Structure 1
Amino acid sequence: MNANRAVRQPGLDELRLLAKVARMYHEKGIRQPQIAAELNLSQARVSRMLKQAVDVGIVHTVVTMPSGVHSDLEDELQGRYGLRDAVVVDTLGVGDDVLPALGSGAAAYLDMTLTGGHVVGISSWSETLISAVDRMPRKSVPVVDKVVQIVGGLGDAAVQMQATRLTARFAELTGGMPVYLPAPGLVGTPAVRRAMMNDVSVRDVLGTWGQLTDALVGIGSLEPSPLLQRSGNAVAEADQDELRRLGAVGDVCFRFFDEEGRLVRSTFDQRVIGVTAKELLAVPRRIGVAGGERKYSAIRAAMLGGWVNILITDLAMAHRLLEQ
């Protein structure tokens, strides 16, 4: 209906017929062809009358949110932060450990939105992503072409198994071919990084980053997670001090940013073997899965800087992000 055009008010007899048609359709569940036959009307006229019943206020549409569904908050997050999509996971009653709920929410979202032909980049160091992949159902047909590691994974042997398993398991569940990055996530000097980036096996992986349709990433705070600490790739205290002085509040794939989401240029950034900021920001769907109180500044900055354009987070975090 054109908002600038006044709705013609029908007479009483016409209103009675509109109300009758509306009740038959909405209350009694009678289909339009049957209504048309019973009232000796054309089906096209019945369709027009149902629309008119809405226009004149006989029928009001009310959407009632099921328990645990927060579409209103998701819409607000999209509008406030310019997101492509948002998923708010109900975490009422789960306490401080929101990771299992976030994993389930991310698994369900990926199951619904991976529909075929995707090239997915996946960050190695995220307990939330591990939780999500552990909960994903296996697809009956392939929906992903490649699953590409976008941050180096070599570190402590036990945790390296987790990084490899994350990429391999995601590929197995979605029917994609796994592509591993045979390099550490962090090296000692920029010169070592340059040498490793020129290795033929690493260059082959780098060539796939420009093909990514999706990036599945965690959002880190400045203090490393327990998984990252165990990995041998944790940010050293001296590096944390430098990043803190430069205003860093969080990272995606070891690329640290300030509270407005701007890349923090540091010596640390020159030692990372992984997707660059420019490459990541060029990926059409950048799916960030993160929650928990300590991640607030990092999550907010990641959205402001466009590091993620799809956010999967918990209910308390969604409220807090919208309060500011």
Structure 2
Amino acid sequence: MARTATRQKKTKFQSDQDELKLRAAWLYFIEGLTQEQVAQHLGISRIKALRLLAATREDGTVQISINAQAEPLLRLQRALERHFGLFEAIVAPAQDQSETSIAAVVGHATGRYISERVSDGLTIGVGWGATLAACMNSLSWREVENMTVVSLLGGLTHAAAHNPSAVAWRLAEFYKTELFQITAPIFVPHEELASALWELDDLRQLRKRAGEVDIALLSVSDISKQASIFRRGILSWEEGESLRAAGGVGDVLGRFVDAEGTVIDHPVNRRAMSINPADIRKVPKVIISSGGVRKIHAIRAGIAATNAKVLITDEAAAQAMLELPPLG
């Protein structure tokens, strides 16, 4: 009789270990991967994969069928991975489709994901957005040594909330790590000023450091009046309309990209004090954490722009994204 995987009496993943166990069981028992392939896919040692699989049998994870509520999410995750060439997709169930609720749910999943991956000597580059701000509320403490946080974009001279540079600061503060910041507004008045600032030795070194991080954690947004960057007046909606007219579909690190992830030729982009998405394409692990059906075109563009291999999103956005053209 075929064996499959389930979590009894659970409607969602209750811990990172439970999730890892369920993913291992799915890959091994459902998709027929070898133990070595399971280990490679999950980025763990073969010994740990063996222990996880053994635990699934001992604690009842492996039974006859997959829990009806867990199975659709796992299938959706695997479909996203194939559709966009991802190494890993994490889909969080979000019944409430309000922007605040989606940010909270996706942010929670992101906080759990990052907490399991912080380690001694890690360098992590960080973007901004409501989802990443929510992520900071779900971090789990562990003591790490020689970890470094690099902010991938500038800040605001006046901000009541959601300063673009604040997410990196909060992550560094939480884990008591070194922090490198772009000490300039995210958008300066003139592109000549932006060019001059990037010539400063400190910012030139930070730009180089940003391309050498181990992990880049980003969020993306669309170009709409609902997007934070326009709603909060960081850019005017007239500029937003101009960006859309130039082919822009989304914002990745304060740089506006077209549907295929190319940074568009526009004055706003030339005024940005942020890392160009193309500069992090070689980062070993780029994570995009973003949800909401409104943002699906921006998420797809963000994956293309950064060569992201990990996506953390919500269920409704994941289903809608599968209707978009795959990435070649």
Regarding TM over 0.5, the answer is yes
Residue 302 of structure 1: aligned partner: 302
Q: Is 1:148 matched up with 2:140?
A: no
- Counterpart among 137, 141, 164 of residue 138 in structure 1: 141
Cα drift, residue 258 of structure 1: 1.4
Q: Distance in 2 between matches of 1:285 and 1:134?
A: 22
**What pairs with 1:75-154 in structure 2 (closer than 5 Å)?**
75-92=78-95, 94-96=96-98, 97-123=101-127, 125-139=128-142, 141-142=143-144, 145-154=147-156
Q: Is 1:211 matched up with 2:212?
A: yes
SS at match of 2:266: coil
Structure 2 counterpart of 1:284, one-letter code: P
SS at match of 1:261: coil
Over alpha carbons, which structure has the higher Rg?
1
Q: Distance in 2 between matches of 1:285 and 1:119?
A: 11
Structure 2 counterpart of 1:219, one-letter code: V
CA RMSD of aligned residues (A): 2.5
Q: Is contact 1:159-1:230 (8 Å) kept?
A: no
Q: Is contact 1:150-1:181 (8 Å) kept?
A: yes
Q: Distance in 1 between matches of 2:206 and 2:225?
A: 26
Structure 2 counterpart of 1:249, one-letter code: V
Q: Is contact 2:149-2:180 (8 Å) kept?
A: yes
Q: Distance in 2 between matches of 1:150 and 1:224?
A: 24
Q: Distance in 1 between matches of 2:182 and 2:249?
A: 27
Q: Distance in 2 between matches of 1:275 and 1:107?
A: 23
5+ residue gaps in structure 2? Answer: 1-61
Residue 221 of structure 2: aligned partner: 220
Residue 317 of structure 2: aligned partner: 317
**What pairs with 1:140-289 in structure 2 (closer than 5 Å)?**
141-142=143-144, 145-159=147-161, 162-223=163-224, 227-229=228-230, 234-289=234-289
Structure 1's 77 and 111: CA in aligned 2 closer, same or farther, altered over 3 A?
A: same
**What pairs with 1:20-31 in structure 2 (closer than 5 Å)?**
none
Number of aligned residue pairs: 260
Cα drift, residue 250 of structure 1: 0.5
Q: Distance in 2 between matches of 1:63 and 1:111?
A: 30
Cα drift, residue 109 of structure 1: 1.0
Cα drift, residue 99 of structure 1: 1.4
Q: Distance in 1 between matches of 2:154 and 2:246?
A: 24
Q: Distance in 2 between matches of 1:98 and 1:192?
A: 37
1:225-252 per-residue CA deviation (whole Å, 9 max, x = no partner) reads 56434765x2323422322122111121
Cα drift, residue 62 of structure 1: 5.1
Q: Distance in 2 between matches of 1:268 and 1:165?
A: 22
- Deviation larger for 206-215 or 195-204: 195-204
Identity %: 25
The two structures have a TM-score, normalised by structure 1, of 0.72
Cα drift, residue 212 of structure 1: 0.9
Cα drift, residue 277 of structure 1: 3.0
Q: Distance in 2 between matches of 1:99 and 1:87?
A: 14
Q: Is contact 1:156-1:230 (8 Å) kept?
A: no
5+ residue gaps in structure 1? Answer: 1-59
Q: Is contact 1:150-1:209 (8 Å) kept?
A: yes
1:61-119 per-residue CA deviation (whole Å, 9 max, x = no partner) reads 85624745622211111111011211100113x34231111111101111223344321
Cα drift, residue 299 of structure 1: 1.2
Q: Distance in 2 between matches of 1:305 and 1:194?
A: 22
Q: Distance in 1 between matches of 2:186 and 2:260?
A: 25
Q: Is contact 1:155-1:231 (8 Å) kept?
A: no
Cα drift, residue 261 of structure 1: 2.2
Q: Distance in 2 between matches of 1:87 and 1:252?
A: 20
Structure 1's 83 and 150: CA in aligned 2 closer, same or farther, altered over 3 A?
A: same
Cα drift, residue 319 of structure 1: 1.0
The two structures have a TM-score, normalised by structure 2, of 0.72
Structure 1's 65 and 263: CA in aligned 2 closer, same or farther, altered over 3 A?
A: farther
